[in-house]
Structure 1
């Protein structure tokens, strides 16, 4: 039976609880939303005693389902003030399944200001003193913890950004090589973990998952067909394994939606230099790797391992959003620079997207010039050093723009846009504006959606709504969103329904399946309403409505009245 683990960070107690029947069909993002509504005052201080850090496996966690080892982190976001869920690959989800956990709920905060390492094994929790680890960033921390506690562990940790309470800080999870290269990046959840004075959570990664099935053989059969659907899809089966998400650089540039020079342009004549094709070419000569799995059991393998010119490991999982926001958005065409930024962000624990957007605002405000690699690295180093301006940068893109007096600020609800200009991809713009968690591209990206002109507003609200429901479903199952590309084929939706029936029993049809996504979004909206958010917050930055994006001769023209029809539940 799966268990809840409740941890009191002040009293340093841990209690395992049986999972109530009412939580049976909640997992990942939806379970976080349900627990937030039941246990957290939406008006609370996100870095105060009343917020909770919630860590969840998805509904398919622990099963053989491909990509189902994603781990979800949530709470009231220190960055946006909204309900927040950020999920991540790596080894944490697999370890969660082996430990028989459905959720970890961490509450309260230490009055003695002492930091802890929490080590979780089967039916046992230890609170270990963290004095020797505090001050270490994630790479040195992971290496030291593996030296002290062995290699059969998964590490969930924060670097200096989380320790300092930066609102753009991440929680990092170790990959299969033991590197803390996978980030639960968005919403500042590293600061929430830091507020509980928890430097790292160690999950023992021994044994095998012992998932329960109503009919395991039927699950295996349905899953086999679902995997066939993933492999048959040209994106998840061919493009992503070959070039990773970096393949989107040329695609989005061709569309005219590549963020360039702080979202002032949508096409860049140097895009080819930071493209997936260029990345694959460079890494082939350096001994790096494309087609790398970010978690056990993934059949897509869209990640990468990047080496420098000397063939030395730099980072893993350098994604399109990191590349675009720290490349074209800054006027920088060096993949080596971008890889270095990715490594620094993973090490210190910073959201690469918010970092790129913040650096873009600094360039817009003439703090440094566009294209200034040395200056950009210097600003990241200021965050790491905790200078006065570094602390402003660590508060996020909005805070930095306000300090510098910059008017073109690419954020929604305080969170930076991901790397798709809404004027060229209006369905994604609707998602940015109306997603309960801020400008999350993974909440419903309309790139490549058939039948809807990306430059016109017609059909975008309905498209975004359908995509947001589908992504909330996938996040609640604990799967990678790239596994969802194949569900444009109704047959693959049926295979997923069959998997759910074989796992949980009962009759499953598409309405019931996608209803899991609806319940998640509805709960997040309920929490946000209690936190004081209204429809007036569901807007893109003002410049998107008034400045024409010349690459597609477009402004964002979906009206507030039309936007209000998105996710109407």
Structure 2
């Protein structure tokens, strides 16, 4: 277990053992506790005092399936608070395979300097000149890096948006097909990477230096039980391979909770044209691929490969949140346009969610018409060129609202909401409001409770408690490196026991029944502590007023929970 510290100011690289206070942490747990301890709260997110941390999960690099999640952490230039952005693909496995617990990028390169962090399969690390890659988009860059370093590499890189410092800039990671289509999208961490002077992180795959286990055979036996639980669960074993996350579109639209036309309606006219069912049919008819494995060691196969009418690759994976942000919010119902928008975001290095909502706000303000797909494509190209309007759009919906003096801006802490309107899913509104990360779709998404009939999505009753409990659980899950989409397997008692057995087999320590809950609370408390040091207060834990005042068709509800109820969410 080791930390790699790379100082961009003096270009020094140091390797040391993991400090004792970080033992037992991985993923979000590690990024959040390290940022809280080592980064000044009031620092400039794009300055030398911020740190950028790449941390695979606690179980990444092991024989356990679906542990290819990488946490990227920093102070966010978008929210002004702490940020963990989570990405799949191949990078977590590549880093963990070399026995690296975290890569910590510190300091700041001189203006105009650009480097490639290169980690070889023998564990050697270098900072290579990257100035020849300046301005490149991610797909062309990845191809060039493969020519330079060989095919067997994993890449995490930024596009023009990250170099410009756009606060919607993503870090794009390669999938199993070597496409840079997996995004650590939320919070503008691509801008932090660009400010540090890093164009790409390149790590050899197939490393044989992973941390040793106490009992490998016991781990493998427990991992097999957990994998079977994933396959047996109806969601991860049947729905995801068939339709991917896009299966949610029809269900959420039917609930009247699909925020569209910049969150003025809860149902999209023509939604069936971009539904999960039509998406799968279109992909299969054109010779694309559903039930695609996008991340190393995935058995859920939620990914897809979308191709055009000639069978040529367009993007992977076209997921629910992007179908909403590039479809529902701007009112676009053309799958080919949405797929192209998704590709451009990946290629330019942009969070599809924050960017799609920015486009929706601009259209609502009268800049372009709802449903104008060509206009949306042109707006993305404006960002790529770094024009005046492009930079406004690249900084996200809050910046667009300010520019156009438009008040309907669906953000919390300047980060866009996700594909569930808080008036139609009251508990998701609690999560948007109180999440340490700004409005978030992974921190405590209660869609499962609504679809399962456990909660009434339109009633305020029980929503705050449900959001609190799920936020704790998700923080703990993000520590492990497990994909949230297979979290349903933990409904199986055998899988819960298997997870504990794997912790014991790897570390020689038997976890207690409340350890997972306590870990989640520990992570959330560290994140709240950092946000307080950064100047965020309870007044930042609020939805925009229009959610409380404007009823959402078709059920005509507003957000119903009080400020006092929101302020009590973290009373644990």
Q: Under a length normalisation based on structure 1, what TM-score does the superposition of the two structures give? A: 0.98
Q: Tell me the residue number matched to 1:417.
A: 417
Deviates more, 1:497-506 or 1:413-422: 497-506
**Residue 467 of structure 1 aligns with which residue?**
470
Q: Partner of 2:25: helix, strand, or coil?
A: coil
CA contact (8 A) 1:494 1:509 kept: no
Aligned to 1:116: 115
Could you tell me how far 1:192 is from its partner in structure 2?
0.1
Cα offsets for 1:234-268 (capped at 9, x unmatched): 11111011100111110100111111111111112
Match of 2:148 in 1: 148
C-alpha contact (below 8 Å) 1:497/1:513 kept by paired residues? no
The answer as to 2:38 corresponding to 1:76 is: no
Aligned mates of 2:493, 2:535 — CA distance in 1: 39
Counterpart of 1:448 in 2: which secondary structure?
Answer: helix
Task: Give the match for residue 343 of structure 1.
Answer: 343
3-state secondary structure, aligned to 1:510 = coil
> 2: CA distance between counterparts of 1:286 and 1:208?
39
What secondary structure sits across from 1:441 in the alignment? Answer: coil
2:103 and 2:487 map into 1 onto residues whose CA distance is 26
- After superposition, give the CA deviation of every residue in 1:98-145 in whole Å (9 maximum; x if it has no partner): 211000111111235311111112331112111211111000000011
Cα distance in 2 for partners of 1:525, 1:518 equals 10
Check conservation: 1:258, 1:419, Cα contact below 8 A.
Answer: yes
In the TM superposition, what is the alpha-carbon distance from 1:564 to its structure 2 partner? Answer: 1.3
Match of 1:35 in 2: 34
Residue 447 of structure 2 aligns to a residue whose secondary structure is: coil
2: CA distance between counterparts of 1:509 and 1:129?
A: 48
Paired position in structure 2 for 1:66: 65
* Count of matched residue pairs: 568
- The residue matched to 1:495 in structure 2 has which SS? helix
5+ long unaligned stretches in structure 1: none
Contact in 2 for aligned 1:94/1:209 (Cα 8 Å): no
Secondary structure at the aligned position of 1:183 is classed as: strand
Q: Is the 8 Å Cα contact of residues 443 and 468 (structure 1) preserved in structure 2?
A: yes
Q: Deviations over 1:18-71 (max 9, x none)?
A: 112321111110111111121100110100111011110111011111111211
| Matches of 1:111 and 1:340, distance apart in 2 | 35
Runs of 4+ more than 4 Å apart:
none
Contact 2:94 2:207 in 1 (8 A): no
SS of equivalent residue, structure 1 residue 110 = coil
Counterparts of residues 177-192 of structure 1 (less than 5 Å):
177-192=177-192
Task: Flag the 1:209–1:177 CA change in 2: closer, same or farther, 3 A.
Answer: farther
Is residue 362 of structure 1 aligned with residue 365 of structure 2?
no
For 1:167, the equivalent position in structure 2 comes to 167
Distance verdict in 2 for CA 1:24–1:45, change over 3 Å: same
Residues 54 and 73 in structure 2, CA contact (< 8 A), matched pair in contact too: yes
**Aligned counterpart, 2:10:** 11
Runs of 5+ consecutive residues of structure 2 not aligned to the other structure: none
2:514 partner SS: helix
Matches within 5 A, 1:93-108: 93-108=92-107
Instruction: Give the 3 Å change call, closer, same or farther, for CA 484–209 of structure 1 in structure 2.
Output: farther
**C-alpha separation between the residues in 2 aligned to 1:505 and 1:368?**
60
Check conservation: 2:250, 2:275, Cα contact below 8 A: yes
Contact 1:259 1:325 in 2 (8 A): no
Contact 1:257-1:421 at 8 Å conserved across structures: yes
Quote the offset at 1:525 in angstroms. Answer: 0.4
Does residue 1:89 correspond to 2:92, yes or no? Answer: no
Q: In the superposition, relative to structure 1, how do residues 495 and 206 fare at CA in structure 2: closer, same or farther (>3 Å)?
A: closer
In the alignment, structure 1 residue 540 sits paired with structure 2 residue 539: no
- The corresponding residue for 1:376 is 376
1:136 aligns with 2:136: yes
- Structure 1 position 257 matched with structure 2 position 257: yes
Give the Å deviation of 1:426.
Answer: 1.2
What is aligned with 1:516?
Answer: 519
Q: Which moved more, 1:496-505 or 1:476-485?
A: 496-505
SS of match in other structure, 2:448: coil
1:281 aligns to 2:281 (yes or no): yes
For residue 479 of structure 1, report the CA deviation from its aligned partner: 1.2
The question of whether the paired residues in 1 share the 8 Å contact of 2:473 and 2:516 is answered with no
Does the aligned pair in 2 maintain the 1:3–1:16 contact within 8 Å? yes
Quote the residue 1:239 is aligned against.
239
Q: Secondary structure at the match of 1:47?
A: coil
Deviations 1:377-421 (A, max 9, x none): 111111111111111111111011111111111000000001110
User: Hey, what does 1:24 align to over in structure 2?
Assistant: 23
Secondary structure at the aligned position of 1:55 is classed as strand
SS in 1 for 2:324: helix
Contact 2:74 2:82 in 1 (8 A): yes
Question: Separation in 2 of the partners of 1:489 and 1:67?
Answer: 17
Q: Does the 8 Å contact 1:16/1:123 carry over to 2?
A: no
Is residue 2:402 matched to residue 1:399? Answer: no
Task: Please give the per-residue CA displacement for 1:499-518, whole angstroms capped at 9, x wherever unaligned.
Answer: 21222222223311222211
- The 1-side partners of 2:4 and 2:471 are apart by 30
Determine the C-alpha separation between the residues in 2 that align with 1:82 and 1:491.
38
1:486 positional shift: 2.1
